[in-house]
Amino acid sequence: MYKLSGVTKRYSRGKETVDALRGIDLVIEDGDQLVIQGPTGGGKSTLLQMIGGLDRPTSGSVELDGVDLGRLSEAKLTKVRSENIGIIFQSFNLIPTLTAQENVETALVPMGTKTAERRRLAAEALTAVGLGERLGHLPSELSGGQQQRVAIARALVKKPKVLLADEPTGNLDEGTRDEIMALLEGLWQEYGLTFILVTHDSAIAKNAPRLATIKQGLVTVTEQRQAVRL
Ligand SMILES: Nc1ncnc2c1ncn2[C@@H]1O[C@H](COP(=O)(O)OP(=O)(O)OP(=O)(O)O)[C@@H](O)[C@H]1O
């Protein structure tokens, strides 16, 4: 479970300061899906970075299962992140010189998983996202939707409890967006993930069970429907 209490984030640009988050209180239960929407510059990505332990709040706390991420040492935070949190981005962030399978394997390196086991798990994760026939392809040999599938496999191969997605369909056409969203929805349910998704896309926001709207660093949560479970 996530518990955010009074989270603020102030960025300093020279003499100027930007209050990107201005006191966020939010609870996200295990297995829940939360969609974060809001105008550009509202603080969506900043909030996701706090939740993912990629950055620390200026004040307040971000607790994951009772552990305050902002107070962990860099080494402990890296460990929590690499074991528990999978992240996907708009721009896929794949390594261009590595094959799909090798890209997915990189997520298992910090855990010390042996080479043969890494290969097997990466192949399994790629098969789960529909790319079992493309293990040896480079990112440049795959479509945008397929590259995002590789990134999803990389995020999930370590079996994290949390999946974070920052505009995962922002670079995809509508049809591919729907395919990727259907895949993510299915994986969320199958793996019982806590799934937190940032989007500009109002069609995705409309379908979300729980919607957090963030404007000028402040959040409002709306319950839109009961999460549909398989
Ligand atoms: N590293 C940084 N240094 C300084 N200011 C920053 C930094 N990152 C974000 N900001 C500022 O913080 C505010 C919130 O930015 P953030 O990226 O979280 O918004 P967003 O809602 O994700 O926007 P978008 O939809 O455009 O991605 C903005 O005013 C932005 O300019």
Domain count, the chain: 1
The answer, yes or no, to whether any atom of ligand 1 lies below 6 A from the CB of 57, is no
CA distances from 179 to 77, 105, 153, 156 (A): 33, 24, 15, 17
Residue 84 lies in a domain: yes
Would you say residue 217 lies in a domain? yes
With a cut of 50, say whether residue 206 has pLDDT above it.
Answer: yes
Q: Which residue, judged by its Cα, is nearest atom 3 of ligand 1?
A: 11
Residue 164 lies in domain: 2-94+159-223
Label the pairing between strands 194-198 and 2-13: unpaired
Does 145 reside within a domain? no
194 in any annotated domain: yes
Atom nearest to 21 CA in ligand 1: 14
In a domain, 65, yes or no: yes
Q: How far is the CA of 121 from the centre of ligand 1 (A)?
A: 36
Contact 40 CB / ligand 1 (< 6 Å): yes
User: Which pLDDT belongs to residue 226?
Assistant: 60
State ipTM.
0.96
Distance 23 CA to ligand 1 centre (A): 16
- Unique residue bearing structure tokens 């999946």: 163
What is the mean pLDDT of the segment spanning 86-114? 96
Query: Using a 6 Å cutoff on CB, does residue 44 contact ligand 1?
Result: yes
In a domain, 132, yes or no: no
Residue 2 backbone dihedrals phi, psi, to 5 degrees:
-95, 140
Residue 230: pLDDT band (50, 70, 90) is very low
Whether the per-residue pLDDT at 150 is higher than 90: the answer is yes
**Residue 83 belongs to a domain with what CATH number?**
3.40.50.300
38-91 pLDDT per residue, tens: 999 999 999 999 999 999 999 999 999 999 999 999 999 999 999 999 999 999
Q: Could you give the 3-state DSSP secondary structure of residue 54?
A: coil
* Shortest-distance atom of ligand 1 to CA 217: 14
Q: Where are the beta strands (DSSP E) in the chain?
A: 2-13, 16-28, 33-37, 59-64, 67-68, 85-89, 162-166, 194-198, 210-215, 218-223
Q: pLDDT over 90 for what percent of the chain?
A: 90
What percentage of the chain reaches a pLDDT higher than 70?
Answer: 98
203 compared with 3, residue with greater pLDDT:
3
Could you tell me if residue 87 is inside a domain? yes
Q: Is the dihedral of CA 131, 179, 229, 82 positive or negative?
A: positive
Cβ–ligand 1 distance for 24 under 6 Å, the answer: no
The minimum-distance atom of ligand 1 relative to the CA of 9 is 12
CA of 38, closest atom in ligand 1: 21
Q: What is the mean pLDDT of residues 90-117?
A: 96
Residue 108 falls inside a structural domain: no
Task: Tell whether ligand 1 has an atom less than 6 A from the beta carbon of residue 90.
Answer: no
Regarding the beta carbon of 13 and ligand 1, being less than 6 Å apart is answered: yes
